C-alpha cells in the first residue's frame, strides 16, 4: 500500500509540474530577404520534441502585409537545443532562394542568429523577437 501511495504522489506531482516553454518559443521577424520581403515565424516545439517554426505572415519591403503561398509552410525544423541558447542539427528553408540549408541558431537576448550552410557556403540572418 505504501508503494502505491508513493507512486500516486509522484505521478500527481509530475502532472502538476508546469510546462516550461523553450526560450526560443514565440514570434520572430526575419531579416529582409534578397527581395526586401520579410516574414513572421512562430517558433515552437514540434511533435518530435525538437524546435520548429512556420511562416505565419509575410510583408513586403514597405512593411505592408502581403499574401503568400508560403504562409503555414515550415521555415525551420528539427532544431535540437544544445544549451546556452544554441540550437543545432536543424534545417531552414529560404523562400527567396527556394533552398533548404543545414542550420543552427543562437539566441542572443531578443535576437536570434539563424545560419544555414549548403556545400560549405554559409549565410546568417538575425531575426528579432516580436512577442
In a domain, 7, yes or no: no
Helix or strand or coil: residue 72? Answer: coil
Please give the pLDDT value at position 3.
Answer: 46
In a domain, 114, yes or no: yes
CATH of the domain at 62: 2.40.128.520
Q: For residue 97, what are the domain limits?
A: 21-129
In a domain, 15, yes or no: no
Closest CA to 76 of 108, 34, 30: 30
Q: How big, in percent rounded to 5, are the helix, strand and coil portions of the chain? A: 10, 55, 35
Please give the pLDDT value at position 85.
Answer: 95
DSSP 5-43: HHHHHHHHHHHHSPPPPPTT-EEEEPPP-TTS-EEEEEE
Q: Count other Cβ atoms within 10 Å, centred on residue 76.
A: 27
- What pTM, to 2 d.p., does this model score? 0.82
In a domain, 81, yes or no: yes
Instruction: Quote the cell numbers at residue 130.
Output: 516580436
Q: How many domains does the chain have?
A: 1
DSSP 47: T
Q: With a cut of 50, say whether residue 12 has pLDDT above it.
A: no
Using only C-alpha atoms, the chain has a radius of gyration, in whole angstroms, of 18
In a domain, 52, yes or no: yes
In a domain, 1, yes or no: no
Helix or strand or coil: residue 59? Answer: strand
In a domain, 109, yes or no: yes
Q: How confident is the model at residue 120 (pLDDT cuts 50, 70, 90)?
A: confident
In a domain, 4, yes or no: no
Cell numbers 505592408 correspond to what residue? 64
Amino acid at each position: 500500500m505504501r508503494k502505491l501511495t508513493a507512486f500516486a504522489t509522484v505521478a500527481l506531482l509530475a502532472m502538476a509540474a508546469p510546462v516550461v516553454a523553450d526560450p526560443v518559443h514565440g514570434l520572430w521577424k526575419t531579416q529582409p530577404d534578397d527581395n526586401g520581403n520579410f516574414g513572421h515565424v512562430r517558433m515552437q516545439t514540434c511533435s518530435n520534441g525538437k524546435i520548429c517554426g512556420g511562416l505565419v505572415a509575410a510583408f513586403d519591403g514597405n512593411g505592408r502585409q502581403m499574401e503568400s503561398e508560403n504562409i503555414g509552410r515550415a521555415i525551420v525544423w528539427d532544431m535540437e537545443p544544445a544549451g546556452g541558447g544554441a540550437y543545432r542539427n536543424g534545417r531552414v528553408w529560404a523562400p527567396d532562394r527556394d533552398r533548404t540549408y543545414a542550420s543552427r541558431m543562437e539566441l542572443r537576448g531578443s535576437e536570434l542568429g539563424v545560419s544555414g550552410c549548403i556545400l560549405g557556403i554559409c549565410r546568417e540572418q538575425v531575426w528579432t523577437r516580436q512577442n
